[in-house]
């Protein structure tokens, strides 16, 4: 498992590698542009080449891009849909250029529109953007289960993969905070194992592309997405230890999106704590 933080790209893509190394990361996650703006960032060939050289010379073994929050692939509004598809295509194409392990996407929200129509709209969007890119996987993130959001459980994620044509580059990112908030009890090895069994049966472990490692401010089944620092929330150290030591998660990028001790995002202390909990969990499993 490759544990690391979400980091800023301020100052250029190579700075993200520097920040990942400073935080003791084995992997990093970035936004390809401002997370709350439609305007894309232009990344020249020199910047991309410098980034790839910096990554090759670093202990960072994987990079994941998180698509911007404004994207709603389920939208029925023409302008929102057009901008969403353009932004997502841009993220995937950058992923192609920098060798990203995937682009993580929140599947979308109904915003009052009919459920089946929205699910089909997401499927159409997935097929379109994958056709406009070449290599980078697109990873659907499970959601906390709030009303109207899509991707709330394994069945819904499986259906979205099916509607996306079952494309070979279409996968999933599992967030432990979202799983707990959506009502999945994952704080013991047996309970988590049952969830992974379900995922394997309905989606396939080959489609699991990365993990998000966040504690939860809110309790089991709250349907509220509120990240907390590792060990300080409802999952606690025991729950995070269990999540990080699931043997079928070995080799995956495990990205931390916590507030951090100083509220400036995940820091080296959070990364090192996650690594320690992983070691403890693996030792306990034998």
Q: H or E element: which one contains 4?
A: strand 2-5
Token look-up 């939208």 returns 75
Q: H or E element: which one contains 216?
A: strand 215-216
Coil, strand or helix at 45: helix
Phi-psi region at 77: left, alpha or beta (left = phi > 0; alpha = psi -120 to 50):
beta
Q: Which residues of the chain have pLDDT under 70?
A: none
Burial (Cβ within 10 Å: 0-12, 13-18, ≥19) of residue 274: buried
The phi, psi pair for 261, rounded to 5°, reads: -60, -40
Asked if residues 70 and 38 have their Cβ atoms less than 8 Å apart, the reply is: yes
pLDDT score for 286: 74
pLDDT score for 285: 82
Q: H or E element: which one contains 50?
A: helix 45-56
Pairwise CA distance, residues 192 & 103, whole Å: 25
Asked if residues 110 and 77 have their Cβ atoms less than 8 Å apart, the reply is: no
Q: Minimal CA–CA distance to 49: which of 76, 93, 12?
A: 12
Pairwise CA distance, residues 60 & 17, whole Å: 7
CATH architecture of 62-285: Alpha-Beta Barrel (3.20)
Pairwise CA distance, residues 269 & 272, whole Å: 5
pLDDT score for 284: 87
Token look-up 């047996």 returns 190
**CB within 8 A of 214, min separation 6: which ones?**
175, 176, 177, 227, 228, 230, 256, 257, 258
**CB within 8 A of 30, min separation 6: which ones?**
6, 7, 8, 9, 13, 16, 63, 64, 65, 66
Instruction: Locate the domains of the chain by residue range.
Output: 62-285
**Token reading at 84:** 């969403």
For the chain, helix (H) and strand (E) counts, in that order, are 9, 10
Q: What is the pTM of this model?
A: 0.97
DSSP per position, 96-122 = HHHT-SEEEE---B-TTS-HHHHHHHH
Q: Minimal CA–CA distance to 76: which of 128, 111, 124?
A: 111
């Amino acid at each position: 498992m490759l544990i690391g933080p979400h980091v800023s790209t301020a100052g250029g893509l190579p700075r993200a590698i520097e920040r990942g190394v400073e935080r003791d990361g084995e992997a990093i996650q970035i936004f390809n542009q401002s997370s709350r703006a439609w305007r894309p960032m232009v990344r020249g060939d020199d910047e991309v080449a410098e980034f790839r050289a910096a990554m090759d010379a670093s202990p960072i073994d994987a990079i994941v891009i998180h698509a911007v929050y404004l994207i709603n692939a389920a939208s029925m509004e023409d302008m929102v849909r057009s901008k969403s598809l353009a932004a997502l295509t841009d993220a995937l194409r950058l992923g192609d250029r920098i060798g990203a392990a995937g682009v993580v996407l929140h599947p979308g929200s109904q915003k009052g529109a009919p459920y089946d129509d929205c699910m089909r709209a997401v499927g159409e969007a997935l097929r379109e953007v994958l056709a406009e890119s070449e290599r980078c996987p697109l990873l659907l993130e499970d959601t906390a289960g709030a009303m109207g959001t899509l991707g709330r459980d394994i069945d819904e994620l499986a259906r979205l993969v099916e509607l996306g044509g079952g494309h070979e580059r279409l996968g999933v990112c599992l967030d432990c905070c979202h799983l707990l908030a959506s009502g999945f009890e994952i704080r013991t090895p047996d309970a988590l194992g049952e969830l992974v069994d379900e995922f394997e049966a309905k989606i396939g472990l080959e489609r699991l592309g990365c993990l998000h490692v966040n504690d939860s401010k809110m309790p089991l089944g709250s349907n509220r997405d509120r990240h907390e620092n590792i060990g300080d929330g409802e999952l606690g150290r025991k729950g995070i230890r269990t999540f990080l030591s699931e043997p079928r998660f070995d080799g995956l990028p495990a990205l931390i999106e916590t507030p951090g001790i100083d509220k400036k995002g995940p820091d080296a202390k959070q990364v090192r704590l996650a690594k320690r909990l992983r070691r403890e969990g693996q030792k306990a499993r034998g």
